[in-house]
Amino acid sequence: MMQRVATSSSSRTILIHGFARRSISTTGRADKAVSFFPSSKDAVSPSKTSEPFRMLMLAKPGSGKGTLSGRLMEKYDMHFLSTGDILRQHIKDKTEVGKVAEAIVAQGGLLPDDLMIKLLSSSLSSLTNKNWILDGFPRTMGQGKLLDHHLAKTSTPLSLVIHLDVPDDVILSRITDRWIHPASGRIYNYSYNRPKVEGFDDVTGEPLTRRPDDNPETFARRLKAFYESTSPLLAYYKSSPSVQLVTLSGTTSDEIWPQLDDVIKTGFRLKPKTAAKQKSSVHEAVIREAELDVGRSARDVKDNSSTSS
């Protein structure tokens, strides 16, 4: 079932498909969100603390998926799996599946779904009893079914699928206002995260630049691909009886983060890291987010070049 809770302009909506329903309202800062207490008969039963947490996060490009994943890894003991990183590592290590993948990539082809599952399987098997977030796969309903089949065989089912619902115009504004420091990957946004000195990096004082793919045309292309492939995937998870699909709505990561954190804390009872571990992981999370953004940028530049040639 799906229920959208009516909210005022100072409220945000959470949609939980087939499970508990709630809305979170605020009277001021986003971090004053009301706690979630399921009360309906179909409400989510909190998971046992001994059960590993396995999550997908699906969102349109520029929705803040990297930022939110970084915050989860900073606060909780979670591992981040990127199919792009896994692919590059297999190619670097010249594994059998890596050699096959390298030949396909060299010819500009797309890896078949069954090969992607082979690439993922070894990494997933090493995290059988760990909490993880998977990025980059699945992107289509067919891939979603393949992943579910693989996880069912290994008795490691998904715990949660998060869908970030950020308005298209907000994402476009966010992307067109974005500037980066190329050497470090630090990202600034003139709408909400301005540098201390306009046009220059806060740490080094070096000039900031724009990404070649941060433009309306590239965004429209990526958005079209999302709606065509990922929207059916959302419908698939919505109808699944074995996994929670939770839609979080907002215009910034700061708005969405309290909602996401509340779902994790209340529905799955994950224990935060100790203060020392949280501090040590902040730098890693920032680097990880920057690497993801740079990787996406490089892929888009390559795609644009292929399209124009």
Residues 6+ apart with CB under 8 A from 151: 54, 124, 157, 158
User: What residue type is assigned to position 259 of the chain?
Assistant: Q
- Asked if 24 and 14 touch (Cβ cutoff 8 Å), the reply is yes
Residue 227 CB coordination number (10 Å) = 11
Q: Which two tokens stand for residue 271?
A: 């224990």
Which of the residues are catalytic? 65, 139, 178, 211, 222
